[in-house]
Amino acid sequence: MKLSLVIDELVEERGLDRELLSTVICEGMLAAYEKKYPELTFSVEHNKKTDELEVKVEKRVVSSVQDEDIEISLRKARNIDPKTELGGEVWVQFDGKIGRIEIIRAKQVIANKIRSIEAAAVYSEFIGKIGTIVLGTIHKCERAGMTIKVGDALAFLPKSLSMPSDKCIVGYSIRALLKDVLNEPRNDNQLILDRSSASRIESHQLGKRFASIEAFISCEVGTWLLRSIGLICFSMIEIPIRAARISGAQLSAV
């Protein structure tokens, strides 16, 4: 199977960078070869022309080979690098195999590195949101609390930080205060939520909103009243003046 196909699957499943995944896979395979052959020095790279992993071993250039695993003759070394001299080192294609145990080791290294990358991404995304209200979906009900999905991250809402009226129904939306963000997931959860504080904060924010609305309404009503009073006063002054003018005109006519 071509390496690019494996990377494509991981990119689609995890949403990670291709180059980063390529490096992670190479590091995992390097760990596998080092486990199988601890006395040798390896390098593992993704050959993009062949789309395969290229495993090489470092060998010392000698005039007479005593150990083929770590030594190479000057003649053979110069077929790889014409500038090579005695006592130098060259990287040689390695054809040794690894077994099932080493493959398991590679998978463990790759999985751990991917988890670390994902944890770092979640931490970077949410660390600045501590103390704010977040919206999530109930993912799982547990004895100690609820697992909440917030975006692509998993959060835990402990029972001690829940509201007495809270019910755990998978798939239901829930709002909570983001209390903490862990560097690494704990039981798959990296965010810690708080519903009791969230209710107080939302009540406070709601009170502030109502106060702002009341202030706005009071201001608008006050302005309207002033305008209305002004119009009434103007009318009270203007009406007698008009009446006086009419009376004067009538007297002149007589």
Q: Which numeric CATH code is attached to 129-197?
A: 2.40.50.140
Note the pLDDT of residue 90.
95
Distance between CA atoms of residues 215 and 54, nearest Å: 71
Distance between CA atoms of residues 46 and 32, nearest Å: 15
Q: Which two tokens stand for residue 233?
A: 């006063």
Q: Which numeric CATH code is attached to 3-124?
A: 3.30.1480.10
Pairing of strands 145-150, 133-141: antiparallel
In sequence order, what are the residues at sequence separation of 6 or more whose Cβ sits closer than 8 angstroms to the Cβ of residue 69?
A: 39, 40, 57
Domain boundaries, the chain: 3-124, 129-197
Q: Are 3-124 and 129-197 in the same CATH fold?
A: no
Pairing of strands 153-158, 42-47: unpaired
Q: 3-state DSSP call for residue 205?
A: helix
Note the pLDDT of residue 202.
52
In tens digits, what is the pLDDT along the chain, a chain of 254 residues?
A: 578 888 888 888 878 888 999 999 999 999 999 999 999 999 999 998 899 999 999 999 999 999 999 999 999 999 999 999 999 999 999 999 999 999 999 999 999 999 999 999 999 999 999 999 999 999 999 999 999 999 989 999 999 999 999 999 999 999 999 999 999 999 899 999 999 887 665 554 444 454 455 555 555 545 544 465 455 444 544 545 454 454 444 434 44
